[in-house]
Every structure is written in structure tokens, then in C-alpha cells.
């Protein structure tokens, strides 16, 4: 078994929230009885975002509704709050593996977190 069989990258995309840019990366791990996925948002500069988009990374879909269809599997992942804006993040799998951010009211996001929903992991590599 190679490391590529154990750790892989699933959904990945660039999201712009106001004037901030993030690279969203889904890390998938599977070996024996260990299996998990983690979504990480990495803050990048505007220029880094442009370079990644030019290299073929897609933009994340931001919508106001949870994706629904008979041929897709949708899994809630976490709540992302940036500059007072809130999003529920979903992993959507069909023929592709995508992340979808659904805009939600900030009060609803905070309520979900109080009830046990996870906050998304954010790495702000621009803060030094």
C-alpha cells in the first residue's frame, strides 16, 4: 500500500468572501480501521488565488440552497464564519467530489455551533 492509497486530496477550490481568498482542501485518510476526511480553508492572497485559478483550480460554488438530487450524496461538514458572513459547508459527491458553501444567517450559524456543529478549520497564512 502506497501513501497515495492512504492519504489523498478530495474536493478543492478557491472561494472569495468579500476581499478575502481561501483555498479549500479536503484531506481524505483511509488505512485499516482509520478513515476520516477533514476540510481545511487556507487563506491566500489575491495573487495566489489568481495563480491557482489560472493553474486549473476551480472556484467553490456558493449558493443559498443545499444541493439536492437523487444522484448525489451530500454531507454536511462544518460552519465557516468570515467577516460576519456565515456558510454551511457541504461535501457533494457524484461523478466528481465538490465542496459547496451555502450562505446562512450568522445567528443560525452560531446556533448550529452551540448545538454541536463543527466550525471549519481555517489557516490564515497571511497573518505573520
For the stretch 14-28, pLDDT in tens is: 999 999 999 999 999
Domain boundaries of the chain, sorted by first residue: 3-124
Evaluate if residue 39 carries a pLDDT over 90: yes
Q: What are phi and psi of 5, to 5 degrees?
A: -80, -20
Between these two residues, 4 and 38, which has the higher pLDDT value? Answer: 38
Between these two residues, 37 and 70, which has the higher pLDDT value? Answer: 37
Evaluate if residue 1 carries a pLDDT over 70: no
pLDDT of 4: 67
pLDDT of 9: 92
Between these two residues, 1 and 41, which has the higher pLDDT value? Answer: 41
* Mean pLDDT of the region 27-43: 92
Q: Report DSSP letters for the chain, one per residue.
A: --HHHHEEEEEEEEEEETTEEEEEEEEEEEETTEEEEEEEEEEE-HHHHHHHHHTTPPBPEEESS----TT-EEEEEEEEEETTEEEEEEEEESSSEEEEEEEE-HHHHHHHHHTTPPBPEEEETT--
pLDDT of 56: 97
For the stretch 53-109, pLDDT in tens is: 999 999 999 999 988 877 888 999 999 999 999 999 999 987 778 999 999 999 999
Evaluate if residue 3 carries a pLDDT over 80: no
Amino acid at each position: 500500500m502506497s501513501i497515495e492509497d492512504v492519504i489523498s486530496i478530495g474536493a478543492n477550490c478557491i472561494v472569495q468572501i468579500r476581499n478575502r481568498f481561501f483555498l479549500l482542501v479536503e484531506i481524505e485518510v483511509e488505512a485499516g480501521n482509520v478513515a476520516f476526511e477533514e476540510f481545511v480553508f487556507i487563506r491566500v492572497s489575491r495573487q495566489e488565488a489568481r495563480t491557482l485559478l489560472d493553474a486549473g483550480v476551480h472556484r467553490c460554488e456558493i449558493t443559498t440552497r443545499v444541493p439536492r438530487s437523487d444522484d448525489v450524496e451530500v454531507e454536511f461538514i462544518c460552519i465557516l464564519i468570515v467577516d460576519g458572513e456565515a456558510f454551511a459547508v457541504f461535501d457533494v459527491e457524484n461523478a466528481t467530489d465538490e465542496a459547496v458553501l451555502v450562505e446562512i444567517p450568522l445567528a443560525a450559524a452560531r446556533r448550529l455551533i452551540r448545538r454541536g456543529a463543527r466550525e471549519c478549520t481555517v489557516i490564515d497564512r497571511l497573518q505573520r
